[in-house]
Amino acid sequence: MRKKTKKIFFIFFSILLVVLSFKQSSAQQWSLNGLETSDYRKVVVVIENLSEDAINIGLTQERIRTKCELRLRQAGLEPLSRLNEKSECLYINIHVVGFAYHISLEFRRLIYFDAGMISYRTVSATWKIGATGTHGRDPESIIQGLDGRLDNFLNEYLKANSK
């Protein structure tokens, strides 16, 4: 009797493992770098508000947006400015304090995850890059730093979405 119970348990457990592994492998796709998206040609660009120090040296959101949109178009992508069109976005934050600046580019998207019996949904960065430097009161040095980070983003983004 005991051998029969063990055998039934083993068969049941084996079937359960096969079913669960099939369900997981068919439902999930693994990301290589978090940049994969279904409609990769459209990229929403979100630019964080600038600090007073950034504005004082002549840096503007318009100049940042122009640089980003130009680079996206050169890569064959369509820049968008409205988040409700897509849940993913290229988030840009340039923070200036005195003579120092920090550039942060992040690819943000809606993330789903389970913790126990509860499912969560949040927006989070799945890819990011940054740079810190000094600007010497020249906003173009910051734009050049942004341009270099856009090179990194576009290279990784296009690789991730090439079919």
pLDDT by residue (tens digit) across 40-67? 999 999 999 999 999 999 999 999 999 9
Average pLDDT over residues 101-112: 94
What's the pLDDT at 82?
Answer: 77
Average pLDDT over residues 111-139: 92
Helices (H), the chain: 2-27, 52-56, 61-74, 139-161
Cα Rg, the chain, nearest whole Å: 23
Q: Read off the pTM.
A: 0.77
User: How confident is the prediction for the chain on average, in pLDDT?
Assistant: 85
Identify the band that residue 161 occupies on the pLDDT scale cut at 50, 70 and 90.
very high
pLDDT at residue 79 tops 80: yes
Worst-scoring range by mean pLDDT, 6-15, 88-97, 139-148, 152-161? 6-15
126 CA to centre of own chain: 4
What's the pLDDT at 47?
Answer: 96
What's the pLDDT at 18?
Answer: 43
pLDDT at residue 19 tops 80: no
Q: For residues 114-144, b (16+ Cβ closer than 10 Å) or e, as one string?
A: eeeeeeeeeeeeebebebeeebeeebeebbe
Question: Which residues make Cβ contacts (< 8 Å) with residue 161, sequence separation at least 6?
Answer: 35, 36, 37, 40
